[in-house]
Structure 1
Amino acid sequence: MVWLRAFEAAARHASFTAAAAELGLTQAAVSHQVRSLEAQLGYPLFERLPRRLKLTEMGRAYLTPVRKAFDELSASTAGLFGPVGETALHLRVPVSLAVLWLAPRLPQFCQAYPDIRIRLHSAIWGDALPADRVDIDIRYGHGSWAGFRSELLFRVPSVPVSPIHSSVARPADIQAENLILIMGLEDDWLHLFQRTGLEMPVHRQHVTVDTSMAALELVEAGMGHTIVLRCYAERLIAAKRVRPSFDMELPQENAHYFLFREDDKALKPEVRLFRDWIMDQAADA
């Protein structure tokens, strides 16, 4: 790689001296690296003229794929890790929270802080991102995770949601309907029926999905009824894509939390900015 970098810089400047200044090397070191590359390839890449370098025909032909390779490597690096020298904020967020609640609000932050590049990782792919690459981890749960400090973002109740043209008006009406359950939250329906003195229907078709986002998509398609966090359903209800089944809220013990690594005592400025901004957003959840 160092041979190729020396060759590309020397070709661009037509000078070993100028290439050395750019690369922070001596002129002799750059000249040696280019000669090593030429020896490896078995072809001269430059004509050494008195005051400048001139690419040979083979050198010109070789320069094109070398530059393309460097460009592709730079693009891949920026795509995965962000451009060098740029302030990047890595967020790991549950996918339903990211799509249904955070995404509509995030443009406000980006407009207010255009120099901060957001790298949003859904929790579905979150395990592929090492913990030390995450600046803010938002999770839904009880508030205690090993190796992390947690800070409450918001706790909201769940609400029953139905297709927009559904005729249900009270809990008893749903007993004869299809229910959409969310993995890990299956007991919400049981709690709803117990709260209203009804039996959980066992003879109806129940569909179980792994995200609130998928559950709401099925409700909108007319598949059945679900229970989701109120903040997830609000925009779809306002857009008349789904509707509240009836006037009832189910309190939740779990909540959304910020997680910070315990060894990360001094938060980066961009992390503090985002935390303060999203806390303001969460106040209306």
Structure 2
Amino acid sequence: MSYQLPPLIWLRAFEAAARRTSFTAAAEELQLTQAAISYQVRSLEKHLGFPLFERLPRSLRLTDMGKAYLPAVRKAFDELSATTVGLFGPKRDKSVTVRATISFAVLWLGPRLKNFRQKYPEVNIRLCTSIWAEGSSEDEMDLEIRFGDGHWSGFNVELLCHDKIIPVCSPLLEEKLEPGSDNLLHIMGSEDVWKRWFESHGPEEYDFVKGVRVDNSLTALEMAATGSGFTAVQKCFAEPYLENGRLIRPSKHELPALQSHYLLMPESQSRPKPEVIWFRDWLWAEAKAYFK
């Protein structure tokens, strides 16, 4: 079978320049001259028949075709690197350092890590948690899972999953979920959830100042399970509590979340370790199977 592929050195120059947004930085990484990288990228563009970059005064910006082409090129190099190192590379300790928000780590990712360990028993996992994504150093992190709008500089960012918001409470709670309640649990950063919830149910005025504020979904769920009030969280976080009966849903209505979970890889990583690629692909598969 004949593959209609451009030379790999052209593709390598394109991937490095796209990741570093600079021909000069790509040249330093690949130990070539800036002129050589520029020539290889121009040759690739001529071969494909489309420009891949906009040449700016001090940097590069991918064109729409460049953006569409880059993920496939990057994935091919990642898989080739992982297979080569895995089969022929020196024996070494394999490890992946992952950081995630505490709720995602405890309620969704943590219980699934045994699946990864069964598939890759030689890989050690270091799972770090943070409440606010910007609260700690980026040093030595291979992958990070953040909740937000997907706009963070210094990372290659890809959508991991999007979920619905549902209200939950203790089965022992006798109060009703209604506007004006003072037993609502709010999660910092998502204070508008209850306002949007009640607005979606009717024209009633809602005093969204009332209630208790906590800084993560895990705390809100634990408080709700003790009967402290109602909270509204992502459905995937609530499911363990619903399954064991500690919480119930006072309404079957679901509210679209305005933000999502994203998978981040530092742009400073010239080439991810094979085990990082394995973990990334495994995580995508798990998320795809769960968030159908």
Q: Distance in 1 between matches of 2:132 and 2:124?
A: 19
Q: Could you tell me which of 242, 255, 277 is aligned with 2:260?
A: 255
Q: Distance in 2 between matches of 1:232 and 1:225?
A: 14
Deviations along 1:121-168, one digit per CA (max 9) or x if unpaired, are 101497686424000011000111011110111010111111122356
- For residues 9-158 of structure 1, the aligned pairs below 5 Å read 85-124=92-131, 130-158=137-165
2: distance between equivalents of 1:117 and 1:92? 14
SS at match of 2:258: coil
Distance, in Å, in 2 between the alignment partners of 1:137 and 1:220 is 29
SS in 1 for 2:193: helix
Instruction: Work out whether residues 186 and 213 of structure 2, in 8 Å CA contact, stay in contact via their aligned partners in 1.
Output: yes
Matching of residue 232 in structure 1 with residue 237 in structure 2: yes
AA at the equivalent of 2:117? C
**Gap change, CA 1:239 and 1:228, over 3 Å in 2:** same
1:201 Cα offset (Å): 3.6
Cα gap change, 1:232 to 1:166, in 2 (>3 Å): same
**Equivalent residue number for residue 72 of structure 2:** none
User: What is the CA–CA distance in structure 1 between the aligned matches of 2:134 and 2:95, rounded to whole Å?
Assistant: 19
Counterparts of 1:218 and 1:128, CA distance in 2? 24
Q: The residue matched to 2:103 in structure 1 has which SS?
A: helix
Match of residue 246 from structure 1: 251
TM-aligned CA distance change 1:240 to 1:196, over 3 Å: same
Q: Which residues of structure 1 form unaligned runs of 5+?
A: 1-83
Say whether the 8 Å CA contact 2:168–2:232 is kept in structure 1: yes
The structure-2 alpha-carbon separation of the partners of 1:273 and 1:168, relative to structure 1 and needing over 3 Å to count, comes to farther
Identity of aligned residues (%): 38
Pairwise CA distance, 1:221:
0.5
The alignment partner of 2:125 has SS state of strand
- Structure 2 match to 1:31: none
Amino acid at match of 1:139: R
Cα distance in 2, alignment partners of residues 220 and 112 from structure 1: 34
Counterpart CA distance in 2 for 1:256 and 1:228 is: 14
1:92–1:269 distance in 2 versus 1, CA, 3 Å = same
Counterpart AA for 1:227: A
CA distance in 2, matches of 1:120, 1:168: 39
By how many angstroms is 1:200 displaced?
1.4
Give the match for residue 163 of structure 1. Answer: 170
What is the TM-score normalised by the length of structure 2?
0.63
1:231-281: per-residue Cα shift (whole Å, max 9, x none)? 100111011110112011111121000111123242221111111111121
Find the aligned partners of 1:207 and 1:124 in 2 and give their Cα distance. 18
Structure ID, larger Rg:
1
Map Cα deviations across residues 206-236 of structure 1 (whole Å, 9 max, x no partner): 1110010000000000000000011100111
Relative to structure 1, the CA distance from residue 126 to residue 246 in structure 2 (aligned partners, 3 Å threshold; closer, same or farther) is closer
**Structure 2 residue aligned with 1:13:** none
CA RMSD of aligned residues (A): 2.2
C-alpha separation between the residues in 1 aligned to 2:168 and 2:193? 12
Give the equivalent residue in structure 2 for 1:40.
Answer: none
Conservation of the 8 A alpha-carbon contact between 2:162 and 2:259: yes
Q: CA deviation at 1:177?
A: 5.1
Displacement of 1:105 in angstroms is 0.8
Q: Is the 8 Å Cα contact of residues 168 and 245 (structure 1) preserved in structure 2?
A: no
Aligned residue-pair number:
199
CA contact (8 A) 1:143 1:150 kept: yes
With over 3 angstroms needed to count, the CA separation of the structure-2 counterparts of 1:220 and 1:176, relative to structure 1, is same
Structure 2 match to 1:184:
189
- CA distance in 1: counterparts of 2:233 and 2:250, whole angstroms: 12
